[in-house]
Structure 1
Amino acid sequence: MQAPLPPADEEQRRRDVLEAGLRETTARLQQALEELRWKTTRLEEAEALRASEAEFRVMAESMPQIVWITRADGWCTYFNQQWMDYTGLTLAASLGHEWNKAVHPEDQLRAWEAWQHATATTGVYSLEYRLRRADGDYRWWLVRGVPQQDAGGNVLKWFGTCTDIHDLKQAEQEVLHTNQALRESEERFAGAFEHAPIGVALVSPDGQWLKVNRALCKLVGYTEAELLTRTFQDITHPDDLAADLECVRQLLAGETRSYQMEKRYIHAGGHLVTVLLNVSLVRDAQDQPRYFIAQIQDITERKRTEQSLRLLSSAVEQSKESIMITDAELDLPGPRIIFVNPAFTQMTGHTATEAVGRTPRLLQGPRTDRAVLNRLRENLRQGDTFAGETVNYRKDGTEFDLEWQIAPLRDASGAITHFVAIQRDITERKRLEAQLLQSQKMETVGRLAGGVAHEFNSILTAIIGQSELLIGDLPTGGALAKNAAEIRKAADRTATLTRQLLAYGRRQLLKPEALDLNEVITGMSGMLHHLMGGEVNTQILPAPGLHAVRADAGQMEQVIMNMVINARDAMPGGGKLTLETANVTLDQTYVSQFPESELSAGDYVMLAITDSGTGMGAGVKARVFEPFFTTKGVGQGTGLGLSSCYGIIKQSGGHISVYSEPGRGTTFKIYLPQMAVQSQASARRPAPADLPCGTETILLVEDDPALREMAATLLRRLGYTVWVAANGIDALSLRLERGTGPVDLLFTDLVMPHMSGMELADRVQALDATTRVLFTSAYTKNAIIHQGMLKQGVTLLQKPFTPSSLARKLREVLDQPRHEHVLHAGC
């Protein structure tokens, strides 16, 4: 049993209990007070929210736009009355996701996907689409929505509006259509302006070009940018400017509404262009001048045609050829003469007054060929052209040979209205033809010999060269030496026989004189440049110290002219022509290769004429000097030019030869004896032992079998190692297959089938840059350099060559410093 506390302690205990109870009660009262305050705040907030929502609804209902609210997940909870009024839907039928039914079917998927994206990303929702109106029509609306988020960024609701943009949308479409139509109109105008077949321009009242089309730019030769910096006055011919400016003044003053005139512009290239100008003036609403519209047609060709017609009329009147025009009546007595030119009167003696109204029968007589007249009548009945020859008679009864061509003239429907005849007195030509016919008969044997000489040129060279080698190698007096000498004599007799045959038939009368060929060709320089025109690069290379020759100056000029004309005709697209001279010495080995030339060993002056034209094949070269042989069309050449050159040079004691390859141009070489008498060296041929020798390796490339064999034999006897090929392809194959040591020198023809000598040399030196090169060709060195077939600085041995000249040239090339040759080969 607990003992009772003292009274003081008891009192204290009671106070403690009371204080503890008071504290607990106070705490409970404070908690209750806080709960009361919180509930009061919530009630106030709820009341404020209700008031705010009420205000929002009042505002939303008063707005002209549709207003909507959704939950955070996009579930629609509110539309204002504007939605119901526009769509005709009830609020219940629109809440949730039912609003999408009012969207146009074509826009529903797009609208729904955009809404789903916005709710998923909490981005601003903005889209244009069509909503169905209560009457079933659709209008365009701009629908926008923004999310309401709490402090943590969580979406609480979506608030949005729908704004009617239908009228704005239609206005935009109308503007787009209007702009499109305007652009199309402008494009059509610009296209018509730019692509007009004549020049069109807009010009300011003071003459400044404002806009020009490409036809005008082409017409005057300026670019658009260049023309826009100029005035029409700048390019108008000074003599036409005053009249043009007066027309402009009248137009600006209102005295005329437009004007037309012919005038001349100065082309950017400096020449004149004649135009037909039509100009009108565009004014603004205040009747002030804005710009001129000019249509500019190029009539230069028309003016030239008019001038040509005037020239043609003048040419017909002044022509040396007789021209006759008749009607088209073919029934007897035949067509009537309606026009003859003065040349007709000069040829026949009949004046125009005497001839007009009569038929061409007035020229016929006993020896007029009736068969030709019958053919003439039949051709004309069929509407064909006619060409023929017959005997006609002058007014005084004398005969003359007539050549004439007749062609029908037709109107626009194709009906024949007249016949035009061009008549020519060929009496003198017929006489010359008779003489030439006799000359042709006499030249037949000469042509045969020339053809044989051409074909056997290489063969004779090989025979004579081989016989020389044999004579030098064999013991003097031996049987084989005698046989070799007989071979040489037979070759000489062949050459002599050919020369005798070629001498047959000469009938020219020449007036030889001391002549400097350098003076001849330089004196003809201006005429030759004029004759060749600007498209042919003509180069004249007179050799210094050229000896005189004995020849007819006029005939030599004729020879040069004939050859230059042939060269020009061989270069219709332009090219290069070279005339060069040189003093040359021809030894017996050389001249024996041309038995038809009657050349003898000695000193000559050489004239070479080279073109870069189409060249000739073997068939043409074989007949190039034949009388009447020509490769030109009918009426374009008589075929007598080169044959006359051939006869002139032969009778002057000279020689003419041709070197040509298809596509490689042509070289004619003329050799005339020098007038200066010089002592002749002994005709003894050097034996191979007298020739410079060597031990190097040489690659010989020659497409002529006889020359190839002769050169190979000589080179081997001189001590060289020789590889032989017939063309560039075989040579490269041989070079690659052997591959057992260097080739010291390539000796190659320049012009060969399949591959040129220059290309072969480039390829061989690509394999070994130390390989030296010696070219050979029938062309002169200056000519082939001028034509680009050979580089400057390379070494060339001209064909035909003798054994001694080949041996010396080989040592010249092989013994020159290595760096010098490489430099020359590559320059």
Structure 2
Amino acid sequence: MRRLFHAGIVATLLLTTPRASADASPATPPPRLPDFTLGMAARQPLRVGSTSDSFPYGYLGADGKWTGFSADIFDALAREMRLTFQREGMPGRELIDRFRQGEFDLLQSLSQTADREAYTAFSVPFLTLKGAVFVRKNGPVRTLADLHDQPFAVIGVGSIAEKFIRDKNLRVKPIYVGSSDEALRLIEQGRCSAAFVSHLTALSVIDRAGLKNVEMLGETIEGYDIRHCIAVHKGDAQLLARLNEGLAILNRTGEYERIYRKWFNRVDPRFFTREQVIRYVLATLTLALLATLWGLLRQRTLRKRIAGQAAELAEKESLLSALYKNIPTGMCVLETRPEGRFVLSLNPQAELTLGLPAPSTTGRPLSELALPPALAALLAKILQRPAIVGEILREEFRLGETRQHLLVTLVPLAPSSQGFPRLCVLTEDITRRRQLDEEIAQSRRLRAIGELVGGIAHEFNNLLTPAMLKIGEIQADWTADTRLQTEIGLIQRVVIRSSELTHRLLAFGRKSSAHLETASLATLAASCLELLRQTIDRRIVLESSIPPALPPLQINATDLHQALLNLLLNARDTLTDKLALRPDGWTPRIQILVTPLPPEALDAPAGHTRPTLGWQRLTLRDNGQGMAPDVRERIFEPFFTTKGVGHGSGLGLATVWHTVTESGGHITVESIPGEGTAFHLVLPVNPAPSPASPIAKETPSAPTSPRRIFIAEDEELIAQTLVTILRRAGHHVDHAPDGSLAWERIQDKLPDHDLLIFDINMPGLDGIELSRRVRASTRYTGKILIISGRLSPAEKDALTEIGVDAMLPKPFTMDQFRTTVNTLCATAPVSA
């Protein structure tokens, strides 16, 4: 029966995986551990620790060599697994301390306990023993209750003996020893009354040492098995796997049984008497009969359960198959054999990425597949990486030929049954994602530049406003001076051109208002082409392909017309420059192509909704000189130009970008140096809004009586000019240079004013806050006029909600200012 017991233990435990304690934590600092990342060949010879005082497992023999059951087991294992090692022996307590400090790669034998699992990984147990209490013959201990207050030998701190004492609530006097041999000799000498030792170990020591005064107390104690394992450092999974494999081989070949008989046959002979055989046979037959009856009763239930599990397995297999076939990530499983790498599996997405059909690829060597050169080089580079099971490698690559961005993930798999390494290669095409990232980064950069440009344009407007007002004032006062009128008209044209420039700057900075109207892209493109024909070299071929029945767009037609014309003029210029080089066999060409797209073809930019009627993509392509990558990245920046001084302001393409993005569209550029450039403008198509009822316009007349007007403006030149104009018109005017001072002056005199004129950006309180405070007062019934060099859409919405009567953008002329003031004063009630 004990023969069956031991053989069953080894067979069962070789199927057991090591446990890891979830809540154990080492009480000492982390030891210096071996470099687990090195392969086994690089780490040999292994440093093996052996006890010098633990008979019959590890001790120094009479011949001066390390021997014992554990030593023989490890020697046989090392031969099977081709491991080289150096063994060093020492007492058990010192051995464990030096192992924790990293001086050994493994211990050839260590009993497995929960405390030790905090810093140790254990192999499957190669020997499991029953614990028992051994006492002195004719001594004071005859039962477990007699152990109270008795000297008790404990083999090691954290051992199974300590657990036994705690579980049984024994009040003993512990004496810590280093080995079973030492514990049993103390009992023999009468210095200890008892010890908790595995029965097989104790019987072996008693037989070898000839101890006559030691015996086992009762039978072995269930629940206190002592498991002898090979111990490695926690985390050394590679070495642990080799050791478990070696133990399994020893058990399968019978080598383990031979070593067991060598060391334990005297104390565990494994022979049976005739009466024992009969008794065991009868018991076995009885159990077999009961098992057969139980099996018959459970057969129908098991069949049903098996059928249910088979259906569940088939459903999961179907789900995994559908996922494998439809997942948008390419999956390819490779197996490394001595003759090369072979493709084991390929899903449809991987077929698209690799350009290979699965039926002709599966089972073939990777080197024989007709992969694109760039992809073949990429795979070769990827597969050079060392693959370790449990470690996932992820890297992004760019294919130069196709300009694809691929995210490649390597997932090492368990080896095949023949021991060949396997690897899963996951590929995901992230080209569109990277393009979107680049577009977002460019958009953010251009918007940041736009904010800066808008601020500069605002300052220009503050300078141009008094100039335009003074020009109007001079023209009104000196109408009879012809020469002066001529000269001042020249200055006026320069100021107007400057104001147009600031308007374009503000448009780029997203500070201008967009006037939406119904416009036909086909009509605008045809109009631009007709204009271009008048100024183009006759050698340049103009081609267009525009569907005639395209739905109209809701866009600022003037801005779009200017954008298209800018692109055509740029194309004309690059072709003209290339013509000067006189290339042979080359025909300069400009092509315009318009294509309708469905709504789901593209996502709407941030802050916009997807168009309900789809998109219209206009592609303007030339075969001119093209652009270098560094130029292509900056073409939408304001003031950036590749043209000579005086030949370009650098605002043309910046305005194009603003026009397209402000309308909720996309703009992309493709360009190859020496071959040409293509601009793609994708514009949203939305239904036209319902027409509003026309509002009759009346020509404002000057107020019949002087009005009281208050101006809050921090720019002194503008304030002085406005005050002069209004006072010459007969009005009573007060002025404050900032918002806080303005509120102090008017908050108690609001009913005395007919019109309040506020700048939007001022120190202290701004124009929005001033307007909000004024409208919050029920005592003011007059009008509010806002003047500003730039107004964002959010600011306009806030002013409209407050109830501002008019907004006048800077720079404005004297006539525009007078007309606005007259209109507001004519409708305002006369102040008290």
Greater length-normalized contact order (CA 8 Å, ≥ 6 residues apart)? 2
Whichever of the two has the greater Rg, that structure is: 1
